A and B are shown apart, each in its own frame.
Chain A
Amino acid sequence: MVDNKISSAPVKYDNSFAKEIYALENGHYAQICMQCGMCAVSCATHDIMDYSPRRLFNLVRVGKKEEVMRSNTMWMCTACCMCKVRCPRGIPLVDVMHDLKAMAIKQGYVDYPHAAFHQAFWQEAFSRGRVFEGGIMARFILKRGLGEIKKLLALGMKDMGMGMLKHGRVPLVPPRKIKGLKELQQIIQRAQALQEKEAK
């Protein structure tokens, strides 16, 4: 949870952070937010977010970079798309959240386990062409350390895994890498280069 103490000095509006956000791939959508709050009431995980999407966009507008980047809001998004469907301004909030996640990872705001999970998923997809649950888990644990395992075990994850195993749902051997992996990686690298060029 982000420290959200109200200091006695008035908050000064500063638009440099907003400019940074609005320059992201889908960031420009954030500037047409009219602060109605439809996203907040539609959100599946609003109650555990530090800030609702509406508040987050307002913080962007005011210029509170640390609050935004350190908040859990984008990481709590489940991409269920309810806000996107309902937003009267047509903002694809899910995509803006993805941009914020990518920016957070890039700038080192990676305290949430979700950041590690996202990276683990990406690495798995990039290096194999397909993802394998076991592979993602291994990469995730590698990033987060054994503490995550303890947490999962406390919730009963071991029984869950055994249950899956018993019902023949855990392939022990990972699926083979795709044949065109090299081409896929070349495509991805070209895409990233193009994306960077576009951002400039």
Chain B
Amino acid sequence: MRYSIYPGCTMEGPALFFLKATEAVAEALGMHLDEIPDWNCCGASEVSGVVGEFTQQVMTARNLAIAEAKGQDVLVACSSCYMNMGLTNKHFKDDPHFAQMANEALAAGGLKYNGTLKVRQIVDILVNDIGLDKIKARVKKPLTGLKVAGYVGCQTVRALPWEYDDPERPVLLDQLIEALGATAVPFPMKARCCGSSHAIAQTEIVLEHSKEILESAASNGASMLVTNCPMCQMNLDAFRGMINQVHKTNLTLPILFFTQLMAIAFDLPPAVAGLKHCVVSPYEVLAPLGVGK
């Protein structure tokens, strides 16, 4: 199965190890990923708040226009990227006036997008294209006994509600966790916001929300939390020292990207799993499974 992949800016920066793990897991499952050549930033949740939705979506559409040549479904992992790519794509399909205007703008760079692609979240692809059975079959080291909180966050399931999962009570990530042999732990904050990009401009929001998510997962028995959003991972992981300092807590729950967890279960080389990039150490939790540094 071939897909175009749109990594997005964080996945070549602080979340590079997410991309590496994702690529390795995809390969292990027989998927072939073609990176969209010379892709540009999707605009995240910020650009339309400066220059408006139309301009941001045109900017995003450049990636779709380039990818269209291959005609493959576009795999997106980052939540914000998925939201912008997905919404822009939908806009092209639903609104001919928008499509015509946007193409007028794209023409300034010699591009055109005909709206033929599908933008897919990676969880959607893994569950609905690859299938849980195939993933189960690929597991070499079942994560038996590992209690994992599958934190879905917000935009992946809500930007295009019901596209592939319930926008408030998503289930697919938990199915993936269970397919790896681990136990998915339900917790109330599963699909609540972590504070997102307020990390810089209003850090307190992130510290407060992230604390609540971590406490919710931990108090429901999780020994680890996995996510598929680089922003969420950073807020919950890299900001942990600040969270514990400001809220006087001692939260030790490690935060992994779920493809890292898949890499472990697939028994891929440690470098691929990239556990050393997690700020909060996951080694203690993973020790019973024989995962070391």
Do A and B touch each other in the complex, judged by CB within 8 A? Answer: yes
| Cβ-defined contact, B203 with A155, below 8 A | yes
- For the complex, count residues of A whose C-beta is within 8 A of B: 72
| Cβ-defined contact, A113 with B202, below 8 A | yes
For chain A, residues 163 to 200, give those with C-beta under 8 angstroms from any C-beta of chain B.
163-164, 166-171, 175, 178-180, 183-184, 186-192, 194-195, 198
A97 interface neighbour in B49, B109, B192, Cβ under 8 Å: B49
| Cβ-defined contact, A114 with B198, below 8 A | yes
| Cβ-defined contact, B245 with A156, below 8 A | yes
For chain A, residues 120 to 171, give those with C-beta under 8 angstroms from any C-beta of chain B.
121-122, 125, 129-133, 136-137, 140, 151-152, 155-157, 159-160, 163-164, 166-171
Q: Does B12 contact A (CB under 8 A)?
A: yes
Q: Does A31 contact B (CB under 8 A)?
A: no
Pick the interface stretch among A5-13, A15-23, A54-62, A77-85. Answer: A77-85
| Cβ-defined contact, A118 with B49, below 8 A | yes
Q: Does A69 contact B (CB under 8 A)?
A: no
Chain B contact residues (Cβ within 8 angstroms of A): what range? Answer: 35 or more
Given the known interface contacts A80-B158, A125-B41, A160-B238, the answer about A167 and B202 at a Cβ–Cβ threshold of 8 Å is no
- A99→B51 CA distance, assembly (Å): 9
Q: Does A45 contact B (CB under 8 A)?
A: yes
Q: Does B52 contact A (CB under 8 A)?
A: yes
- Chain B residues with CB below 8 A from A82, complex form: 154, 158, 168, 192-193
A159 interface neighbour in B47, B80, B195, B241, Cβ under 8 Å: B241
Contact code string B14-43 (vs A, CB < 8 Å = 1, else 0): 111100000000000000000000111101
- A102→B111 CA distance, assembly (Å): 27
- A166→B14 CA distance, assembly (Å): 12
- A192→B105 CA distance, assembly (Å): 9
- Chain B residues with CB below 8 A from A189, complex form: 108
Q: Which residue of chain B is the closest to A101 with respect to CB atoms?
A: B49
| Cβ-defined contact, B14 with A25, below 8 A | no
Given the known interface contacts A167-B277, A169-B14, the answer about A121 and B241 at a Cβ–Cβ threshold of 8 Å is no
| Cβ-defined contact, B109 with A183, below 8 A | yes
- A114→B199 CA distance, assembly (Å): 10
Q: Does B131 contact A (CB under 8 A)?
A: no
- Chain B residues with CB below 8 A from A109, complex form: none
| Cβ-defined contact, B101 with A198, below 8 A | yes
- Chain A residues with CB below 8 A from B104, complex form: 190, 194
- Chain A residues with CB below 8 A from B59, complex form: 125, 184, 187-188, 191
Q: Which residue of chain B is the closest to A193 with respect to CB atoms?
A: B105
Q: Does B228 contact A (CB under 8 A)?
A: no
- A74→B106 CA distance, assembly (Å): 29
Q: Does B190 contact A (CB under 8 A)?
A: no
| Cβ-defined contact, B51 with A102, below 8 A | yes
- Chain A residues with CB below 8 A from B207, complex form: 155
Q: Does A95 contact B (CB under 8 A)?
A: yes
Q: Which residues of B contact A (CB under 8 A)?
A: 9-10, 12-17, 38-41, 43-55, 58-59, 62, 80, 83, 101-102, 104-111, 153-155, 158-159, 161, 167-168, 192-193, 195-198, 200-205, 207, 209, 238-239, 241-242, 245-246, 276-279
| 18 CB < 8 A contacts A-B | A44-B209, A78-B45, A78-B197, A79-B154, A80-B158, A81-B161, A98-B48, A98-B52, A114-B201, A117-B200, A125-B59, A130-B9, A155-B242, A163-B279, A164-B279, A175-B12, A188-B105, A194-B104
- Given A81-B154, A82-B168, A156-B241, 10 more A-B residue pairs with CB atoms under 8 Å apart are A25-B52, A44-B209, A102-B49, A140-B200, A152-B200, A169-B13, A180-B38, A180-B109, A187-B108, A191-B55
